[in-house]
C-alpha cells in the first residue's frame, strides 16, 4: 500500500478534482444560457477572454515552479475560476477588465498562496472585488434584460463594444443602458437601494420595468437557472446541501422578518433569493472546497454567515448586492469556524 500526500480539497466524493470541476462547468450551463439570452453575446466573449487568460496565467505559474503545466491544467480549477468571474461581470465590460481580474485571481490569490488547495480566499470573488473597487463605473454598466431593453446588439456589435468600448455606430455602454425616455436603467437591486434612498416605497420601485412577478426581470430566471444547476451538483454529490441551505436561510429568514415589520422599506425573501448573485453564490461560489468550512456543522454556520452578511450589505451597505464581499469576509472566519466545529478525534476527547 502507498500513502499519498496531497493538498486540499480533501473530499469524500468518489470524483477526482478534475471530474468535480467538469461537473461544476456542466451545472453552470443552464444559468449561463439563460444569462446570455437576457444579456446578450457578451457573456460568451467574457468567458472566452477569462478562460484564455486563466489558462495562460496558470501555465506560466506552474512552469515557474518547475512543474509540468499540462498535468496541472487538467484539474480544471483555473477553468472554473475563470467562468465564475466572467459571468459575474457586466457582459459588455471592456476586455481589459476581465483580463486584469482573471490575472489577479489566478496569479495573486491562488498561486502566491501556494497554488491549488492553499488559497485562503475564493479566487473568483477576490478578483471580482478588486475590479469592483478599482473600476466601479465599468463594473456597474449592466444593460437591461433584452425583454425590456431598447437596444439589441449583434455578435459583431457586441465584440466591437467589448474591444473598443463603443458600438460601431459610436454608442457607449452608458448610452445603451438608457431607455427610450433617456433614463438609465439600473439593475433591480440597485433600483431598490436607489429608490429607497430617494424616498420611494418598495411598491413604487416594483412598478418600474426592471421588475417582474417574482423579482427582477431576467434576473429571476438567471437565478432559477443556477438553482437548477446547483441541485444537479447536490444530486451528483459534488457539493453537499449544507452551505447552500445555510446561505439561503441566512439571507431569507432575516429578510422575511424585516419585510414583515417594514414591507414598504425592506425587500422580501423571494426578491432577495432571486436577485443578483444569490443562487450563483449559494451553489457555485460559497461551496468552494478550499476556502469553505470543512465539517458539516461548520458549513451550515459558514453558509448562514454569508447569507446574513449579504442581507446586511444589501439593506444598509454601500453596494447593492454584496455576495462577493460576504464570501470573502466569511473566508476569513473559516479557521475559527473549523476550530470550534471540527469533530473530536476518537480517543482524544476532553479530559474530565
pLDDT tens digits, residue range 80-96?
A: 999 999 999 999 999 99
pLDDT tens digits, residue range 220-264?
A: 999 999 999 999 999 999 999 999 999 999 999 999 999 999 988
pLDDT tens digits, residue range 128-172?
A: 999 999 999 999 888 888 887 777 889 999 999 999 988 898 888
Higher pLDDT, 88 or 212: 88
What does pTM read for this prediction?
0.90
Q: Where are the domains of the chain?
A: 41-142+150-184, 186-341
Grid cell at residue 257: 422578518
In the chain, % of residues over pLDDT 90: 60
Amino acid at each position: 500500500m502507498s500513502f499519498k500526500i496531497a493538498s486540499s480539497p480533501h473530499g469524500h466524493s468518489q470524483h477526482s478534482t478534475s471530474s468535480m470541476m467538469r461537473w461544476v462547468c456542466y451545472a453552470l450551463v443552464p444559468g449561463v444560457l439563460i444569462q446570455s439570452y437576457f444579456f446578450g453575446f457578451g457573456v460568451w466573449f467574457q468567458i472566452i477572454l477569462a478562460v484564455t487568460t486563466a489558462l495562460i496565467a496558470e501555465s506560466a505559474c506552474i512552469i515557474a515552479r518547475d512543474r509540468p503545466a499540462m498535468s496541472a491544467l487538467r484539474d480544471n480549477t483555473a477553468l472554473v475560476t475563470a467562468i465564475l468571474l466572467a459571468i459575474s461581470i457586466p457582459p459588455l465590460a471592456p476586455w481589459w477588465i476581465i483580463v486584469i481580474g482573471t490575472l489577479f485571481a489566478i496569479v495573486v490569490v491562488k498561486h502566491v498562496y501556494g497554488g491549488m488547495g492553499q488559497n485562503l480566499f475564493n479566487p473568483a470573488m477576490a478578483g471580482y472585488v478588486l475590479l469592483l473597487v478599482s473600476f466601479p463605473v465599468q463594473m456597474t454598466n449592466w444593460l437591461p434584460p433584452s425583454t425590456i431593453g431598447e437596444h439589441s446588439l449583434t455578435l459583431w456589435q457586441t465584440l466591437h463594444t467589448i474591444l473598443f468600448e463603443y458600438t460601431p455606430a459610436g454608442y457607449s455602454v452608458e448610452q445603451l443602458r438608457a431607455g427610450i425616455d433617456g433614463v438609465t436603467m439600473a439593475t433591480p437591486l440597485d433600483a431598490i437601494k436607489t429608490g429607497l434612498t430617494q424616498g420611494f416605497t418598495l411598491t413604487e420601485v416594483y412598478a418600474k420595468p426592471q421588475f417582474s412577478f417574482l423579482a427582477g426581470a431576467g434576473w429571476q430566471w438567471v437565478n432559477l437557472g443556477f438553482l437548477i444547476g446547483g441541485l444537479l451538483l447536490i444530486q451528483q454529490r459534488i457539493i453537499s446541501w449544507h452551505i447552500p441551505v445555510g446561505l439561503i436561510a441566512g439571507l431569507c429568514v432575516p429578510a422575511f422578518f424585516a419585510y414583515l415589520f417594514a414591507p414598504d422599506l425592506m425587500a422580501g425573501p423571494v426578491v432577495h433569493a432571486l436577485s443578483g448573485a444569490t443562487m450563483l453564490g449559494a451553489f457555485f461560489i460559497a461551496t468552494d472546497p478550499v476556502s469553505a468550512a470543512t465539517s458539516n456543522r461548520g458549513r451550515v454556520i459558514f453558509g448562514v454567515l454569508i447569507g446574513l452578511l449579504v442581507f446586511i450589505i444589501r439593506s444598509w451597505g454601500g453596494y447593492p448586492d454584496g455576495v462577493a464581499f460576504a464570501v470573502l469576509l466569511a473566508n476569513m472566519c473559516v479557521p475559527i469556524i473549523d476550530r470550534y466545529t471540527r469533530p473530536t478525534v476518537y480517543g482524544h476527547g476532553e479530559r474530565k
